[in-house]
Amino acid sequence: MNPVPLPALIEPACALSLAEAGRLLREGRLVAFPTETVYGLGADATCDRAVAAIFEAKGRPSFNPLIVHVADAAEAEALVELDDRARLLTARFWPGPLTLVLPRRAGSPVSLLASAGLDTIAVRMPDHPVALDLIRAAGRPLAAPSANRSGAVSPTLALHVVDSLGARVALVLDGGPCRVGVESTVLDLSTATACLLRPGGIAAEEIEAALGSPLARAAIDPHAPKSPGMLESHYAPGLPVRLNATTAEQDEALLGFGDIVGTLTLSAAGDLQEAAANLFAMLRLLDGGPHRAIAVAPIPEHGLGLAINDRLRRAAAPRGQP
C-alpha cells in the first residue's frame, strides 16, 4: 500500500528557503510563491517536463497558455520582441500586475508548452520581493499560473496553496497575504492595435492614458484562449454563484459590497482596491460554509471593478467547461 503523500512544505521566505526553492526549480520541481496579485505555481519556463508538471498539478487544459515571470525587462527582451509600446509600458508599470503578450523572439528558450504552441509569449515582472528573489535564485524565467487546481478560487495565502494542491508542490514560500488580490491585467501587443485580453490589477484606463489611445477588447474563443484566464468557467468555487444580488435567498451566503452588508463584505467602504484584495479569500471562506449557493452584491463596472466582475462572471458561468 502506498503511503499518503505529505502536504507541501510551507517555509517563510528567507535566504535559505529561497536558495532551496531555486534548487528545486532547476531540478524541474514545482514551487509556489507569493506575488502582489496571487500565489503562483512556479516551474522552470525553459523545461518542457517542468511546464508539463504545472498542467498535471493544476488539472489545467494544455491549450491555456501560462504567464512567464521575469526579474527585469532585459530578461524579457531575451524571450520576446519588445516594441516601443512595450518599452513604454514596462517602464511605467513594471514591476507590477501587467502581463504583455508579445511575439516570441527567435531562439527563445521558453518551452512551447508554456505558450500553448502559440508564436507569442505572455510575460510580466511581478512586484513582490520574494517573487523577484526566487526568479534570480532559479537563474531562469518562471512559468507560473495561480497556485490552485484549475478553475478553482485563486490563492492569496500560502495555506490556500496547500489546501488546493497539497503534495503536488515541493515547497511553498510564505510571503504573507497578497496585496492586490486579483491576477494581472493581460494586454496583447502582438498586433498593431493593443488589445485587452483580461482585466486585472492595473485598470485599462491607466494603460490607455499611458499609450494615448484606446484599447481594443478581445473576442473570447473559449476553445483556444490567447492568454490565461479566458476560459468561460474559471476562478469558480464549488457552490453556484448568483450575481448582482441585493439580498440573499434561502440558504444563500451573501458577499456584500458597500451599503449591501453580507455574510462577508468585500468592502463596506465601497473601496474597489480593498474588494479586489478580499475577493478570492472571501469566496473561498463562503465556499467552505453550510450554504447551498453564494450571492454577490453588484460591483461597479470601472477601474478594478472590471477585473472583479470579470472573475465573478467566470465564477458564475455554467459549469462543465474544461
- Say if residue 235 carries a ligand binding annotation: yes
Query: Which residues share a beta bridge with 281?
Result: none
- Say if residue 263 carries a ligand binding annotation: no
For the residues of 130-189, what is the DSSP string, one character each? Answer: HHHHHHHHHTS-EE--BSSSTTSPPPSSHHHHHHHHGGGSSEEEE--S-SS-SPPEEEE-
- Say if residue 150 carries a ligand binding annotation: no
Q: Considering only the C-alpha atoms of the chain, give the largest distance between any 2 of them, rounded to a whole number of Å.
A: 63
- Say if residue 60 carries a ligand binding annotation: yes
Q: How far is CA 243 from CA 21, 251, 257, 279, 308, in A?
A: 40, 16, 12, 14, 12
Q: How far is it, in rounded angstroms, from Cα 82 to Cα 304?
A: 26
- Say if residue 164 carries a ligand binding annotation: no
In a 3-state reduction of DSSP, which class is residue 296? strand
Q: How far is it, in rounded angstroms, from Cα 31 to Cα 162?
A: 11
- Say if residue 120 carries a ligand binding annotation: yes
- Say if residue 23 carries a ligand binding annotation: no
In 3D space, the residue among 258, 269, 310, 262 whose CA is nearest the CA of residue 289 turns out to be 262
Q: How far is it, in rounded angstroms, from Cα 194 to Cα 256?
A: 34
Q: How far is CA 9 from CA 43, 170, 287, in A?
A: 16, 7, 24
Let me know: does 150 contact 65? Beta carbons within 8 Å: no
Q: How far is it, in rounded angstroms, from Cα 103 to Cα 81?
A: 5
- Provide the H-helix boundaries in the chain: 15-26, 48-58, 73-77, 84-93, 129-138, 158-165, 204-211, 272-287, 304-316
Task: List binding-site positions.
Answer: 37, 60, 64, 69, 120, 124, 144, 146, 154, 184, 198, 235
Task: List binding-site positions for ATP.
Answer: 60, 64, 120, 144, 146, 154, 198, 235
Task: List binding-site positions for L-threonine.
Answer: 37, 69, 124, 184
